[in-house]
Structure 1
Amino acid sequence: MKLLVKEVDLDFLSTEYENIEFYTLCSDDRLSFITCIVCICKNLQDVIENWRTIQNMVAVYYQHSGGFDAWNMYLAFICNEKIPIWDKYEIENNKFSARKIVLDEFQERPTIEHLIRELEKQLLGSDLKLASQSHQLEESLPNLENYYRGAPLESNSKSRDKRASMINKIIESLNNNEN
């Protein structure tokens, strides 16, 4: 899955915030419904002072109540300057109307292509690699069938004790082979 720039009318934001550039990115998978509004701010004050009103405007003008676009909506605030950790924490942990991402401390103004790569890492996990594991783990774990075969099914105390012992052996084996 990839994020693509999508032409969406964001005039309701652009006219209100002349110092901030806005882009809309959408997933190329029509079943994912991921939308990210990117807000490229000139300085950290633009982020800190405006993130709440921007999220409110997006909720009112862009998100439709109950539709799929209300889910998997992200607001990404981009700034070359370092955002103070508390402000970054507050923004990213606010879940009203959209999830938020703050990308800061860029050496120079990032291009939209660079932002797409960064946001794909954040939103899609594109930087994650699936490592293949050998079947050594399966071979080292004894077959669980050996532990429960012949378990008594009666409800008397001797059968219950025997089943409890079998369960304890399974847990012990799993704990020993946990890693």
Structure 2
Amino acid sequence: MINNSFYEIEQLPELLQEEENLKLYSFDLDEENKIFSFVKTISTHDELESSWLDLTQVIGTEFICEQSSDFSRWNTYLVFISKEKISQDVRSEIENNKIFVRKIISDDGNFNIHVVEKLNVILLGFDIDTSRKKDVDDSLILSNISEKIISSRYSKFNKDDKANFISLIINENKHEN
């Protein structure tokens, strides 16, 4: 992982440079795979209702189509920060529309203050407390294979490494029994 947080990209793509109150943030897993979040600040409910679809289409055709990574194309978000409350009907229409990007609306007044922190929480789950241990359930017993997978940092493997690792564990388990 290159960065451990979202950061602002200073230069917007060319066709989006004229868009007022729009910023682009990125979280880089590696050189090729990134999570992008466009953040658009709007003043009114009506402004959001009349402009969200056009902005979505420009981002989809001019930005997402240029991404070489499938991961990056599937992990691009459009966040609208509204100074006014947005009606549930408009919110549902926009957030349930999955064309090109997933959309999030924030109208609670706190988002704009710490955009990077909010993106880290909403999109990356930085608010999840991994230091707390769950009570151990005595009825839960993991197999040897499950324990090896959990203890091996399995999530950091690529697809081939995962297949080889699981084959190795299964073969070891066969020899133990």
Tell me the TM-score range normalised by the shorter chain: 0.5 to 0.7
1:96 aligns with 2:99: yes
| Cα RMSD after superposing both structures | 2.6
Partner of 1:26: 26
Question: How far apart are the structure 2 equivalents of 1:9 and 1:25?
Answer: 10
- Does the 8 Å CA contact 1:4/1:28 hold for their aligned counterparts? no
TM-score, normalisation: structure 2? 0.67
Trace 1:44-63 onto structure 2 (pairs within 5 A): 44-63=45-64
- Does the 8 Å CA contact 1:33/1:71 hold for their aligned counterparts? no
Q: Cα 1:144–1:38, aligned 2, differ >3 Å: closer, same or farther? A: closer
Long gaps (5+) in structure 2: 144-177
Of structures 1 and 2, the larger Rg is shown by: 1
Structure 1 stretches of 4+ moved >6 Å: 142-145
Q: Cα 1:22–1:10, aligned 2, differ >3 Å: closer, same or farther? A: farther
TM-score, normalisation: structure 1? 0.66
Long gaps (5+) in structure 1: 146-179
| Distance apart, 1:134 and its partner CA | 3.8
| Distance apart, 1:13 and its partner CA | 3.0
Q: Cα 1:134–1:43, aligned 2, differ >3 Å: closer, same or farther? A: same
What whole-Å deviation, never above 9, does each CA across 1:59-78 have from its counterpart, x for those lacking one?
11111267323120100011
Q: 2:74 aligns with which of 57, 63, 71?
A: 71
Residue identity opposite 1:84 in structure 2:
S
| Distance apart, 1:144 and its partner CA | 9.7
What whole-Å deviation, never above 9, does each CA across 1:52-99 have from its counterpart, x for those lacking one?
000001111111267323120100011111000111111111110000
